[in-house]
């Protein structure tokens, strides 16, 4: 019983203190303005400004895939359309240039759709 | 709302099927609680398998799915009408249950419910492993239409395409039938499996051992914060633990009713659904077959071996066929098949890996279940006290020996094989043991509680009649002494 109460307090504590900036709900909000017509079998590339060794990088990639299913997201910049997931205020043009990408549509909330110059 | 109604219909259909096998009048009874709890898993397993077969045979655009679902429900409910003879499952005779124990069980159930609701309200998509594997597949099955096989694309390797589809199939079916996608489906399914596991444990032990051990086991299960948290995480582990428990409980009941082989047939079906819920279920399926053979040869009647195995195979044939087809044609056999034998031999012969495993076992022994006091100490004390009572008088029912041996061997084999698989295949063993070891143990936890309380002698927490009798005898003795002294 005491263990259960302890666990319950744990949940309440977590719920009160975290701001939910990371997670499915937060990510679904980020992608709210993404074209609703995501077709099955469509393949998008993916690029993020989060360093690859950051533990949240992989989780964010998985979240993007989860939110945009049934489209398939590849961790590559060689697809025709590439989703750029950025955390700075503005889209980092240097990052795009390095990866041979040019902006196609800024979705907002840190999400942009780019075209690859090297498909 | 439609979604929950369809889920309730699937549950009722499952209840219809198990009630058709073990009919008794529809009223509030232990028999019907057991069947109602089993019905959750039976309905979920059958619905999920049928949905997968519909996808394969008729495609995702099969527009008659709701109509077919309705027909299946009517057929299942019509099975209610078939009156067949079956054994009545009733409370085992035992000492009176103290009120505080009933109150403890009610409080544990209420706390479990609050914990579950609190966790899913905060995290309705479940933990990362749930949305990135199980719900991801459900989304593909529901959203991708004709391209549902994309869920098993090599691009989605992190979702483990070889994982069986019981949970995603059921979630996608509920969405399809209701015509909308909602987190209510995985949450409600998780809750039903939690409820069903507690129901099967309490009712099976009620039949086999009586009210006191049944309520104690139920209190322990629902008071296991980790188990409730695992359910609220929306993984497929609690459904697997349900099927493991249901298989073992039905085999134990089989030994109480050797003439009625339907227990074994239903146990086979549940073991098949265990294999359809997670890959670990396949290990359990093989373990339970070996365990049952050993138990019947060593503790049971050998003449029952062939007829019971025929029923077991009959029960598990359909789900095992679905699992085999899925593995060979859709999801693949998994990454493990590609690991070279030299790597396996290297892993096996590396003492450090075994030491890491042993360390993990010791740590989990103390941390398991998030109990404030290590649960093995509490259970050890209980065992000591109960075994002491056994020496005084009551012993274990000899009819339960084969069932208990089946449960103990199957659980030990499942755990042992999983640990060896971990040593053989996992690259980062220390990390994996830290994150998934408790989860593996929790899959076996309800089955272990069944075996533990089945092995222990009947417990008498209050003995008012004995005390009265003792007092009367004392008074009679005093009276006789007075009479003798007067004379």
Q: Which residues of chain A have pLDDT under 50?
A: none
What's the domain count of chain A? 1
Minimal CA–CA distance to B215: which of B378, B57, B30?
Answer: B30
Tell me the pLDDT tens digit for each residue of A22-53. 688 888 888 887 877 788 889 999 999 888 88
Tell me the pLDDT tens digit for each residue of B442-478. 999 999 999 999 988 666 565 555 444 455 555 555 5
Residues of chain B with C-beta less than 8 angstroms from the C-beta of A25: 124-125
A8 touches chain B (CB under 8 A): yes
Q: What is the pLDDT of residue B479?
A: 53
Interface of B with A in 202-221 (CB under 8 A): none
Strand partners, A105: A113
How do the residues of chain A divide into helix, strand and coil, expressed in percent and rounded to 5? Answer: 35, 25, 40
Domain span holding position A57? 22-116
Position A28 in a domain: yes
φ and ψ of B310, to 5 deg: -65, -45
Tell me the pLDDT tens digit for each residue of B263-310. 999 999 999 999 999 999 999 999 999 999 999 999 878 888 999 999
Interchain pair A66, B371: CB under 8 A? no
Could you say which of A3, A15, A62 has the minimum Cβ distance to residue B223? A3
Q: Which residues of chain B have pLDDT under 70?
A: 62-66, 79-84, 387-396, 457-487
Q: What is the pLDDT of residue B282?
A: 97
B106 touches chain A (CB under 8 A): no
Position A1 in a domain: no
Q: Residues B191, B196, B199, B205: is their CA dihedral positive or negative? A: negative
Interchain pair A1, B114: CB under 8 A? no
Minimal CA–CA distance to B156: which of A70, A6, A110, A84?
Answer: A70
Position A58 in a domain: yes
**CA atoms within a 13 Å half-sphere pointing along the CA-CB vector of B316:** 27
Position B53 in a domain: yes
A69 touches chain B (CB under 8 A): yes
B468 touches chain A (CB under 8 A): no
Q: What is the pTM of this model?
A: 0.90
Strand partners, A84: A47, A112
A88 touches chain B (CB under 8 A): no
DSSP H or E run through B405: helix B401-425
Could you say which of A6, A8, A73 has the minimum Cβ distance to residue B372? A6
Contact A67, A106 (CB under 8 A): no
Cα nearest neighbour of B151 on chain A: A70
Q: Tell me the DSSP string of A62-104.
A: HHHHHHHTTSEEES-S-SSEEEEE--SSS--HHHHHHTTEEEE
DSSP H or E run through A116: strand A111-116
Interchain pair A70, B144: CB under 8 A? yes
Position A6 in a domain: no
Strand partners, A43: A72
What's the domain count of chain B? 1
Interchain pair B150, A72: CB under 8 A? yes
Interchain pair A66, B112: CB under 8 A? no
Domain span holding position B331? 2-87+99-486
Residues of chain A with C-beta less than 8 angstroms from the C-beta of B145: 40, 70
B135 touches chain A (CB under 8 A): yes
Position A14 in a domain: no
Pairwise CA distance, residues A84 & A47, whole Å = 5
Pairwise CA distance, residues A42 & B447, whole Å = 44
Phi-psi region of A100 (alpha: psi -120 to 50; beta: other; left: phi over 0): left
Position B94 in a domain: no
DSSP H or E run through B284: helix B279-298
Position A8 in a domain: no
Position B93 in a domain: no
Q: Residues A83, A89, A94, A97: is their CA dihedral positive or negative? A: positive
Q: What is the pLDDT of residue B465?
A: 52
Position B471 in a domain: yes
Q: What is the pLDDT of residue B487?
A: 45
Interchain pair B115, A7: CB under 8 A? yes
Position A67 in a domain: yes
């Amino acid at each position: 019983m005491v263990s259960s109460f302890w666990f319950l307090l744990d949940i309440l504590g977590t719920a009160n203190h975290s701001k939910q900036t990371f997670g499915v709900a937060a990510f679904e909000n980020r992608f709210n303005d993404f074209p609703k017509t995501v077709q099955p079998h469509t393949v998008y590339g993916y690029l993020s400004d989060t360093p690859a060794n950051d533990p949240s990088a992989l989780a964010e990639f998985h979240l993007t895939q989860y939110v945009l299913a049934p489209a398939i997201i590849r961790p590559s910049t060689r697809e025709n359309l590439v989703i750029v997931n950025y955390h700075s205020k503005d889209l980092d043009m240097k990052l795009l240039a390095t990866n041979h990408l040019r902006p196609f549509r800024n979705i907002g909330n840190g999400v942009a759709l780019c075209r690859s110059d090297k498909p | 709302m439609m979604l929950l109604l369809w889920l309730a219909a699937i549950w009722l259909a499952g209840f219809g099927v198990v009630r058709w096998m073990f009919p008794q009048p529809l009223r509030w009874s232990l028999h019907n609680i057991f069947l109602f709890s089993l019905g959750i898993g039976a309905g979920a397993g059958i619905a999920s398998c049928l949905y997968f077969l519909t996808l394969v045979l008729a495609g995702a655009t099969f527009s008659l799915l709701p109509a077919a679902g309705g027909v299946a429900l009517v057929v299942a409910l019509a099975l209610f009408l078939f009156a067949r003879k079956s054994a009545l499952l009733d409370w085992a005779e035992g000492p009176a249950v103290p009120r505080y124990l009933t109150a403890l069980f009610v409080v544990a159930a209420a706390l479990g419910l609050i914990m579950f609701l609190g966790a899913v309200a905060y995290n309705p998509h479940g933990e990362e492993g749930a949305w990135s594997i199980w719900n991801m597949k459900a989304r593909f099955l529901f959203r991708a239409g004709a391209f549902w096989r994309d869920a098993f694309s090599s691009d989605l390797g992190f979702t483990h395409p070889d994982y069986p589809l019981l949970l995603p199939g059921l979630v996608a079916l509920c969405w399809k039938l209701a015509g909308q996608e909602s987190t209510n489906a995985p949450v409600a399914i998780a809750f039903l499996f939690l409820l069903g596991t507690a129901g099967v444990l309490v009712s099976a032990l009620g039949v086999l051992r009586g009210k006191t051990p049944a309520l104690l086991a139920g209190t322990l299960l629902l008071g296991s914060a980790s188990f409730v948290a695992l359910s609220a995480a929306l993984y497929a582990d609690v459904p697997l633990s349900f099927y493991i428990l249901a298989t073992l409980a039905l085999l134990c009941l089989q030994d109480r009713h050797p003439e009625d082989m339907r227990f074994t047939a239903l146990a086979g079906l549940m073991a098949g659904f265990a294999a359809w819920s997670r890959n670990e279920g396949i290990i359990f399926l093989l373990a339970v077959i070996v365990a049952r053979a050993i138990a019947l040869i060593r503790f049971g009647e050998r003449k029952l071996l062939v007829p019971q195995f025929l029923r077991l195979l009959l029960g598990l044939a359909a789900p095992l066929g679905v699992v085999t087809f899925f593995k060979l044609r859709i999801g693949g056999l998994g990454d493990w098949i590609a690991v070279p034998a030299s790597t396996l031999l290297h892993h096996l012969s590396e003492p450090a890996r075994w030491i890491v495993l042993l360390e993990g076992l010791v740590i989990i022994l103390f941390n398991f279940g998030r109990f404030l006091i290590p649960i093995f100490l509490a259970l050890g004390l209980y065992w000591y006290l109960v075994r002491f009572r056994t020496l005084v008088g009551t012993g274990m029912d000899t009819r339960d020996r084969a069932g208990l041996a089946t449960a103990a061997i199957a659980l030990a084999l499942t755990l042992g094989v999983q640990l060896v698989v971990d040593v053989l295949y996992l690259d980062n063993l220390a990390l994996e043991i830290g994150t998934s070891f408790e989860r593996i143990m929790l899959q076996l936890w309800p089955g272990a509680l069944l075996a533990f309380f089945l092995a222990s002698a009947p417990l008498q927490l209050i003995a008012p009649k004995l005390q009265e009798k003792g007092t009367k005898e004392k008074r009679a003795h005093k009276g006789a002494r007075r009479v003798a002294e007067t004379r």
